[in-house]
Structure 1
Amino acid sequence: MEKRLLVPIDGSEQAWTALDHATTEHPGAALTLLYVINPVGGTAGVSAGAQIADVGHGEEWYEAAEQRAEALFERARECIGKREIETETTVGRPARAIAAFAEENPIDAIVMGSHGRDGVSRIVLGSVAETVVRRSPVPVTVVR
């Protein structure tokens, strides 16, 4: 039976490293790439670039976030060549959304970057990867 890996992407260098690790270390696995649109804002975690600047522009904000997800998925396709991937976009807090997706779908493991944030925001906001490791119903590989 084919192993199914979930690879959250946010455009960070760590996310691309995790995608490379997943494709290199698990050449026969089915890949699902997940982009999480974070409605609470911030450029951290799996929602880099998705912010609500003005509640009145919610629809425009959401469309921009979806376009960012599609651009990241396209870049991922270019990185991995002919290999087939599934892509999913969801809304929520990144760590919770990643763990919930793994719980609600036939996922065998998660491969993710060590962090998508830098500096003080990483310390203050906590680590998405750390939270996923604690909440995930499946094994998690954190790539540095």
Structure 2
Amino acid sequence: MPRQIVVPFDDSPHSRKALEYAIETFPHGEITALHVVDPTNRYMYGDSVANEAIFERKQKRGEELLERAHELARDRGVDIETELETGAPARVVNTYAHSHDVDHVVMGSHGRSGVGRILLGSVAERVVRRSSVPVTILR
């Protein structure tokens, strides 16, 4: 039975479902909700002050999302940890799992297929392909 579980969390219905699943399935595990701030559009604009302001808003928004994860867990009588990281989401999830001795990743997927998946990519797919631990994907 996994002891350390990480749940990538962006407060979408898919990530809320993943967190609920982790809480129900691993009631004795140590669950961490992980929000990744993706800075890829940080350099889209020429004004570095505007870029920094955008990035700071994304970080503040991430903190707010993680507070919602805490609330969701508290409503189910569970205490969880939260982490805010920066980088490419799939890479950060896998690096976090490796460096924190995570036993299992539980994450939501938007379930895109075909052209949508090709154009937009799939964080869940990239996590699964590169993960060294089991990954559960929920739609």
Into which bin does the TM-score normalised by the smaller protein fall?
0.7 to 0.9
* Mapping 1:36-115, distance limit 5 Å: 36-41=36-41, 54=45, 55-56=47-48, 57-81=50-74, 82-115=77-110
TM-score, reference length from structure 2:
0.85
| 128-137 or 58-67, larger mean C-alpha shift | 58-67
Query: Which residue pairs with 1:134 in the alignment?
Result: 129
Query: Which residue pairs with 1:125 in the alignment?
Result: 120
When you count helix as a share of all residues, which structure comes out higher? Answer: 2
Aligned length: 135
Deviations, residues 28-80 of structure 1 (Å, cap 9, x unaligned): 11111111111113xxxxxxxxx665352232122211111111111111111
Note if contact 1:52-1:61 (Cα within 8 Å) is conserved in structure 2: no
Over 3 Å counting, the alpha-carbon distance change for 1:2 and 1:120 in structure 2 is closer
Tell me the distance in 1 between the aligned counterparts of 2:113 and 2:84: 24
Deviations, residues 96-136 of structure 1 (Å, cap 9, x unaligned): 11111111112111000023879965331221101100101
Tell me the distance in 2 between the aligned counterparts of 1:101 and 1:37: 14
Secondary structure of residue in 2 paired with 1:83: coil
Secondary structure of residue in 2 paired with 1:18: helix
Note if contact 2:6-2:31 (Cα within 8 Å) is conserved in structure 1: yes
TM-score, reference length from structure 1:
0.82
In the alignment, which of 124, 140, 143 is matched to residue 138 of structure 2?
143
Percent identity (aligned): 44
Secondary structure of residue in 1 paired with 2:11: coil
Q: Which has the larger radius of gyration?
A: 2
For structure 1, the residue ranges without an aligned partner over 5 or more in a row are 42-50
What code does the residue aligned with 1:140 have? V
* Mapping 1:2-21, distance limit 5 Å: 3-21=3-21
Tell me the distance in 1 between the aligned counterparts of 2:105 and 2:84: 16
